[in-house]
Structure 1
Amino acid sequence: MPKSKRTAAIIVAAGRGLRAGAGGPKQFRSIGGQTVLSRAMSPFCTHPQIVAVQPVRNRDDADIFPQAAGDLTYQPPVDGGATRQISVRAGLEALVAQAPDIVLIHDAARAFVTEAVISRAIDAALVTGAAIPVIPVTDTVKLVSETGSVEATPSRAHLRIAQTPQAFRFDAILEAHRRAAQEGRDDFTDDSALAEWAGLTVATFEGDVANMKLTTPEDFAREEARLGAMLGDIRTGTGYDVHALTDGDHLMLCGVRVPFNRGFLAHSDGDVGLHAIVDAILGALADGDIGSHFPPSDPKWKGAASDQFLAYAVDLVKSRGGRIAHLEVTMICEAPKIGPLREAMRARIVEITGVPLSRVAVKATTSERLGFTGRQEGIAATASATIGLPWDVNGGSN
């Protein structure tokens, strides 16, 4: 199998995705508990033959891009343009200094590309210089006139549906893009069409029916249902945490800094709400408790912000191929009043976990002035987490 030590990938993520309906650009939306962007980028960032991943974004998305991409390793994003073709050229120009042998160009809206497809793309480009993944057309296709009447029925034997990543020798596709820009041609719908125009012979290789492009609200609904069906091992975990109150001027509650006349007596920031959620997630994973992962005896965690504990627990779920379906936390205290803070707390939990707002609940109760919470000696929290994990072939979960 041919190998290249200089293969780069461009992830085109500058579009607006208007056909996907309300909710902002589709590449930043969540599907199966993970953003479309991070799903699309991850296989390239972890592929052993790819040395650089170059995202192209819309400049208006500069603030939200890093969070949507997560902790993946990639080149600093560059700004795209008004058309996909302009955006791809921006990505190519950003890679000039690195001079890769092969470049793969992939649409961020294709969130389910696999390592196998990426490997086939690299191999095909090394042999042919230009190649695209395709899948057979299974429906009968009609050529229809402007009046709506059928003019012809092409044979399916020679029809294919093109996908990405499309793979090219870097120098050849860069020259083709530059030439198209000089001649004012900006109407190509994909890079293979531009390559054909420039005189390159474009080969094909086996694509993947799952490597579909998310375009409409129906696409999102279908893939959410498919991903949900894969996560057949449904788990529920519970968590509980309590911290005493001491002198101070604020409390951290569910990731929100709350001005108060007391503070928590704790090794970390004492956020009982987030601690209870972390324990609930770990319980659903059957993976110990917060103390076993972040021991209070370790000075490393002294004064630590609890949002990193929750982000860690979320990453554990993702590493096992799972997703969080629902989170609920109940604060138990006489003061401060949680009601006015509830929506800010929900929003902060969403920000940390990526779980949709409609799947995050924050509640509160008092203990009717009974016990340590009633005497305002401390604050407690309980939480529950529902997660889905994939079943393995032996009937258990991974």
Structure 2
Amino acid sequence: MQADVRADMRADVIVVAAGRGTRAGDGLPKQYRPVGGRPLLRHTLERFLGQPGIRRVVTVIDPAHAALYADATQGLADSFGADRLAAPVAGGATRQASVRAGLEALADAPPELVLIHDAARPFVTARLVADALAAAAQHGAAVPVLRLVDTVKRCEAEGFVISGPDRDLLRSVQTPQSFRYALIREAHRALAGRDDLTDDAAVADAAGHRVASFAGDAANLKLTTPEDFVSAERVFARELQDLADVRTATGYDVHAFGEGDHVMLGGIAIPHGRGLAGHSDADVVLHALTDALLGTIGAQDIGFHFPPSKTEWKGAASDQFLRHAVELVAAKGGRVAHLDATIVCEEPKIGPHREAMRASIAAIAGLPLARVSVKATTSERLGFTGRREGIAALATATVRLPWSEDEQ
């Protein structure tokens, strides 16, 4: 699908986790059951928190499960930022009421786009998220669908089959379902008294909106039965084995001091008596990290993707450069494992801003804070940095990619 999402479009996610999942058998509610070594809900949340295009994620839970939720999400807010993983919201008696509660929880700082996803689908991919956002931006309401493989028949009470609908016109529907926030919030408000609408596409349709479709993903499984959990364990084991191609690459950037009252480093504006000269915002840290990531997949360098000869990048914020590199890694089925940056300068002092830079880089790249490192050093007054003529940055990126025999 051709992306139609502006870089500045605010996109939030509602993860619906207020049910009990009784078909999964006895024991904990299924969203809190361990699979792949961690609670199911945690896997799902991490998938969205790891997407650069997502601003924040809110989970709708049964208040009786508050302790289970706290255990399942321990450390996530610290890793990704409390502004990205919002406090959980109490759900209602029906899925529709729970989603409405999630939508209202976003009203304090409403997004332009919202994805609504089942907690029991932990295998959502970067491609599916990107397509969902693009479809919502273009159509206002959209759902991922799969063509039916099996023939569908109606069955009589006695167990005999009779002719069924035309399979070519039928689709199975997945999540995340995607919408313009204002559209789906008003639809839910208008239909608050209905309890027969099984998903958010039905809510939008009943409110008079046409719902578009886009290609779903057969791997985007919903865990419902005990057998599904067994299958999921196999998938998680295979994912870890498949991402066996570990690659590391480096990046380097330098910018001279020029006029200005601040420098941009790691996505943070640091007050200073001079600025950094450059075609974009001259953020040497993000530029070096971008080149390091591009190097892991052999995708040339930052100048190839964002030529300084093009006026559209004049004064551009460098977070979009790093985000683009992360998305290229994801498009190859890979994951960013770690980012490390070293800043070389005599001034300004980096220490007071180090943690803010780490948090900024983590948010841009969709990484836990623990997977980002920022260091600083001087050049002992040697060279251009020692003469306080500019700032340099070195970066190292480590990614995990699917193993490919074709590349051997």
Q: Contact 1:6/1:100 (CA < 8 Å) preserved in 2?
A: yes
User: Judging changes above 3 Å, is the alpha-carbon distance between structure 1 residues 232 and 122 closer, same or farther for their aligned structure 2 residues?
Assistant: closer
User: Judging changes above 3 Å, is the alpha-carbon distance between structure 1 residues 8 and 25 closer, same or farther for their aligned structure 2 residues?
Assistant: same
Separation of aligned partners in 1, 2:154 and 2:168: 15
**Deviations 1:140-188 (Å, cap 9, x if unpaired)?**
101223443333222221111100000011111111111111xx21121
User: Judging changes above 3 Å, is the alpha-carbon distance between structure 1 residues 52 and 180 closer, same or farther for their aligned structure 2 residues?
Assistant: same
Superposed CA RMSD: 2.6
User: Judging changes above 3 Å, is the alpha-carbon distance between structure 1 residues 43 and 227 closer, same or farther for their aligned structure 2 residues?
Assistant: closer
Match of 1:27 among 28, 31, 52: 31
**Deviations 1:90-123 (Å, cap 9, x if unpaired)?**
0000011112111100000111101110100000
- Map 1:359-370 to 2 at 5 A: none
Separation of aligned partners in 1, 2:189 and 2:56: 21
Matched, 1:130 2:141: yes
Question: Which residue in the other structure is 2:20 paired with?
Answer: 16
Separation of aligned partners in 2, 1:228 and 1:46: 20
**Deviations 1:340-362 (Å, cap 9, x if unpaired)?**
xxxxxxxxxxxxxxxxxxxxxxx
Q: Secondary structure at the residue paired with 1:121?
A: helix
Separation of aligned partners in 1, 2:49 and 2:404: 28
User: Judging changes above 3 Å, is the alpha-carbon distance between structure 1 residues 89 and 202 closer, same or farther for their aligned structure 2 residues?
Assistant: same
Alpha-carbon distance, 1:51 to partner: 1.1
Letter in 2 for 1:191: D
Q: Secondary structure at the residue paired with 1:140?
A: coil
Separation of aligned partners in 1, 2:238 and 2:221: 18
Letter in 1 for 2:46: S
Alpha-carbon distance, 1:69 to partner: 2.1
Matched, 1:2 2:12: no
Deviates more, 1:31-40 or 1:140-149: 140-149
Matched, 1:161 2:172: yes
Q: Contact 1:231/1:390 (CA < 8 Å) preserved in 2?
A: no
Matched, 1:111 2:122: yes
| Misfit runs of 4+, over 4 Å | 229-233
Q: Contact 2:146/2:215 (CA < 8 Å) preserved in 1?
A: yes
Q: Contact 1:36/1:111 (CA < 8 Å) preserved in 2?
A: yes
**Deviations 1:248-296 (Å, cap 9, x if unpaired)?**
xxxxxxxxxxxxxxxxxxxxxxxxxxxxxxxxxxxxxxxxxxxxxxxxx
Separation of aligned partners in 2, 1:188 and 1:148: 28
- Map 1:1-398 to 2 at 5 A: 1-4=3-6, 5-70=9-74, 71=76, 72=80, 73-181=84-192, 184-232=193-241, 392-393=403-404
Alpha-carbon distance, 1:390 to partner: 9.4
- The two structures have a TM-score, normalised by structure 1, of 0.57
Separation of aligned partners in 2, 1:230 and 1:58: 31
Q: Contact 2:47/2:122 (CA < 8 Å) preserved in 1?
A: no
Alpha-carbon distance, 1:61 to partner: 1.1
Q: Secondary structure at the residue paired with 2:55?
A: strand
Alpha-carbon distance, 1:126 to partner: 0.5
Q: Can you give the 5+ residue segments of structure 1 that lack an aligned partner in the other structure?
A: 234-314, 320-388
Q: Secondary structure at the residue paired with 2:93?
A: coil
User: Judging changes above 3 Å, is the alpha-carbon distance between structure 1 residues 138 and 394 closer, same or farther for their aligned structure 2 residues?
Assistant: closer
Larger radius of gyration: 1
Separation of aligned partners in 2, 1:35 and 1:130: 30
Q: Secondary structure at the residue paired with 1:97?
A: coil
User: Judging changes above 3 Å, is the alpha-carbon distance between structure 1 residues 48 and 225 closer, same or farther for their aligned structure 2 residues?
Assistant: closer
Q: Contact 2:135/2:141 (CA < 8 Å) preserved in 1?
A: yes
Alpha-carbon distance, 1:231 to partner: 4.6
Letter in 2 for 1:156: R
Question: Which residue in the other structure is 1:338 paired with?
Answer: none
User: Judging changes above 3 Å, is the alpha-carbon distance between structure 1 residues 217 and 127 closer, same or farther for their aligned structure 2 residues?
Assistant: same
Deviates more, 1:137-146 or 1:166-175: 137-146
Separation of aligned partners in 2, 1:52 and 1:161: 28
Separation of aligned partners in 2, 1:68 and 1:147: 45
Alpha-carbon distance, 1:129 to partner: 0.4
Alpha-carbon distance, 1:232 to partner: 4.8
Alpha-carbon distance, 1:229 to partner: 4.2
**Deviations 1:74-102 (Å, cap 9, x if unpaired)?**
11111001111110000000011112111
Q: Secondary structure at the residue paired with 1:125?
A: helix
Q: Can you give the 5+ residue segments of structure 2 that lack an aligned partner in the other structure?
A: 243-366, 372-399
User: Judging changes above 3 Å, is the alpha-carbon distance between structure 1 residues 18 and 2 closer, same or farther for their aligned structure 2 residues?
Assistant: same
User: Judging changes above 3 Å, is the alpha-carbon distance between structure 1 residues 221 and 194 closer, same or farther for their aligned structure 2 residues?
Assistant: same
Aligned length: 244
